[in-house]
Structure 1
Amino acid sequence: MAMTGSDVTREGPEGERPGREAAPEILRGGPDGGKPGRGAGQRGRRRGKGRRGGRGEQLMAPPAEFQSYYGRPVIKAPAWRARDIAGYFFLGGLAGAGSVLAAGAHATGRTTTATAMKISSLAAVSLSTAALVNDLGRPDRFANMLRVLKPTSPMSVGSWLLAAYGPAAGAAAACAVTGWLPRAGAAATGAAALLGPAVATYTAVLAADTAVPAWHGAHRELPYLFAASATAAASGMALVVGPVRETAPARCAAVLAAVADSAVHQAAEERLGMVAETYRTGRAGKLLRTARALTALGAAGGALFGGRARPLAAASGLALLAGSACTRFGIFAAGIASAEDPKYTVVPQRAAKEARRTTPAPSVERTQPT
């Protein structure tokens, strides 16, 4: 029976498949020795592609090295100025933790230290707000942030925290200095102490909420690191301004803050992976190494000699204050460095994606109903 054109396909007569022996003939050009058709040549090239040495080994491309478009950053680094925003971080922590120590001193009868710490907290929050307003450019921009309260925005919540904490700290300091309205002063002292921890740590949430790798990658540890740094600063201020006989709680708090600062810093670097390089190198590395040394020195000096002589207590307190400031400026510098180098944005994302791809999905066991 004669076959029509519709009975013949590119693979041969319809219903028939060429055997294994047909493959070499197709690759050689067909049974008649002519040149193979376009389809046969393509199939031959496909079969030969990826083979090496005739043993069926698949060619593997070497892993591509990271590159970015002309080495430009993938994300835009924050336009914040280090003097204003890092200073804002430091002063806010000093104010918030200082109010907690002031409340403790007030409750235990350490009136001189309590009054000095209340004044210190008021000065610190005033300077902190001034630094924030200076970075914003115009004072009315800070007032505009108070037009709404957005709980999902750290900046909005932080603005309201400052707006509530500032008057409380001011009232506590005014009553302590003048001696007027002691009950109102005690209430203001308690209110400032309740808001103080949030004021000291919300800036860490604010920084971690950005896309900056060195900050966002340490979003779990950064609030604890800020809390430890703020406690060290407030303890240092208490050692500087308080009498030696009243500084025992501050000396204990300084030791705890130094231990917590070192432990949390190490935990943050372990979780950051390669991004932790920004915490160890460059300007940030120098600042953070100096910060750890000053904090340890100030805590040790305060614990060993702070209760004996006022000059030694003051020197230890200044070391703690300087160490806390270096911590805030070092973290700020690490964030800017990680945003400016595109590899700290792309490489961890690729690694996380590959880890998710290779991790098997958890199996779900089905139970028979009883």
Structure 2
Amino acid sequence: MSSQTDVRLDDAPDLRTEREATPGSAGRGSRSLRPGERDAGSYYGLPVLNRTPWSDHDIAGYLFLGGLAGASSTLAAAAELTGRPALARAAKVAALGAVGGSLYALIHDLGKPSRFLNMLRVFKVTSPMSVGTWILTAYGPQAATAAATELTGLFPRLGRAATVGAGLAGPALATYTAALICDTAVPAWHDGFREMPFLFAGSAAASAGGLGMLAAPVAQAGPARRVALAGTALECAATVRMRRRMGMTAEPLRRSRLLKAGMALSVTGALLGQALGRRSRVAAMAAGAALLAGSACTRFGIFHAGIASGDDPRYTVEPQLARLATSRAERDLR
């Protein structure tokens, strides 16, 4: 009877193959390789990165609502200054509701309000979370003041100043979350750092334009229609460029059904708003609903694609090996 200690490290014939530890072939959490796929080099095929602790309904919702709030305030300021009171009113109220929802989602994910307040003790320009906390703190009171004065009719000058202030801070609120998720090791987020702010800006603009078409009369919704069209075009262009540039780490983005649905809904809503939303209130409302749903699908799709890329070690290990090989080749040519 053979001993259990005859496992050797050389290639001798008496090596017991059943005792070999082959990455990806056994162990808890292992997965089998796809046809034509080489092993990613992780231990037993397990993820290299710790799983992101963020919950989708909190953080993905925060990404969507923050973008909607910021872009709605910018649209409200434009409507206020161009004499479109109904559109301005709808955008101000929407911005307040969206920023309230995003703040709740953020605090719910943090666990308790004191953790949000603790981040205000310092301002660290290299930390997207710190910068975002201060952006949210500067934006929130102005958005609340703009909506409150609009609904009550009190202090109109203060309300206009708050509307303009919130409109100026809106783009920062709508896009800083792109820097927040890209400043992580999650491959599908980190590798998209160049295009992600533009994608978020376009998605936010499309959602704000959609809400404007949904809530404002057709006669005053012209800026909302134009913002929705421009935002959708920017979102689509950024998405296509990001997928092409990122290479294999964009695979979870390409496979995401939510992202595909988001793009389809946004394009449909923008075109419908331009074609029929000028004359038909029903068409304008349908276009607005499609744009809002499309923006939500885009944010949730990006969130889930990032989680999927972090769970698969291939998207962490193989790009690093490719960069290492390129670096060695360049060094050898010198």
Give the alignment's TM-score, normalised by structure 2. Answer: 0.87
In the TM superposition, residue 307 of structure 1 has moved relative to its aligned partner by 1.1
Matches within 5 A, 1:95-244: 95-244=69-218
Conserved? CA contact 1:102–1:118, under 8 Å: yes
2:254 is aligned, of 280, 292, 314, to: 280
Identical aligned residues as a percent? 53
Structure with larger Rg: 1
For 1:198 and 1:208, how far apart are their aligned partners in 2?
A: 15
Which ranges of structure 1 fall in alignment gaps of 5 or more residues? 1-62, 364-370
Q: Which residue number corresponds to residue 342 of structure 1?
A: 313
CA distances 1:143-183 after superposition (whole Å, capped 9, x unpaired):
11111111111001111111110000001111111121111
Q: Which residue number corresponds to residue 34 of structure 2?
A: none
Structure 2 letter corresponding to 1:222? M
In the TM superposition, residue 344 of structure 1 has moved relative to its aligned partner by 0.2
2:269 is aligned, of 292, 295, 298, to: 298
For 1:360 and 1:352, how far apart are their aligned partners in 2?
A: 12
| 3-state SS, counterpart of residue 307 of structure 1 | coil
Q: Which residue number corresponds to residue 353 of structure 1?
A: 324
1:69 is aligned, of 40, 43, 50, to: 43
Structure 2 letter corresponding to 1:240? L
1:261 is aligned, of 222, 230, 235, to: 235
For 2:53 and 2:172, how far apart are their aligned partners in 1?
A: 25
Give the alignment's TM-score, normalised by structure 1. Answer: 0.79
For 2:137 and 2:301, how far apart are their aligned partners in 1?
A: 27
For 1:64 and 1:79, how far apart are their aligned partners in 2?
A: 29
For 1:146 and 1:89, how far apart are their aligned partners in 2?
A: 20
Conserved? CA contact 1:77–1:212, under 8 Å: no
| 3-state SS, counterpart of residue 308 of structure 1 | coil
For 2:222 and 2:172, how far apart are their aligned partners in 1?
A: 25
Which ranges of structure 2 fall in alignment gaps of 5 or more residues? 1-36
1:64–1:257: structure 2 CA closer, same or farther, 3 Å change rule?
closer
For 2:179 and 2:126, how far apart are their aligned partners in 1?
A: 11
Q: Which residue number corresponds to residue 299 of structure 2?
A: 328
In the TM superposition, residue 362 of structure 1 has moved relative to its aligned partner by 9.6
For 2:110 and 2:38, how far apart are their aligned partners in 1?
A: 42
Matches within 5 A, 1:33-72: 65-72=39-46
Structure 2 letter corresponding to 1:331? I
For 1:360 and 1:243, how far apart are their aligned partners in 2?
A: 64
1:71–1:164: structure 2 CA closer, same or farther, 3 Å change rule?
same
Runs of 4+ aligned residues of structure 1 deviating over 4 Å after TM superposition are 360-363
Corresponding residue pairs, total: 298
Structure 1 letter corresponding to 2:254? R
Structure 1 letter corresponding to 2:55? R
Structure 1 letter corresponding to 2:104? A
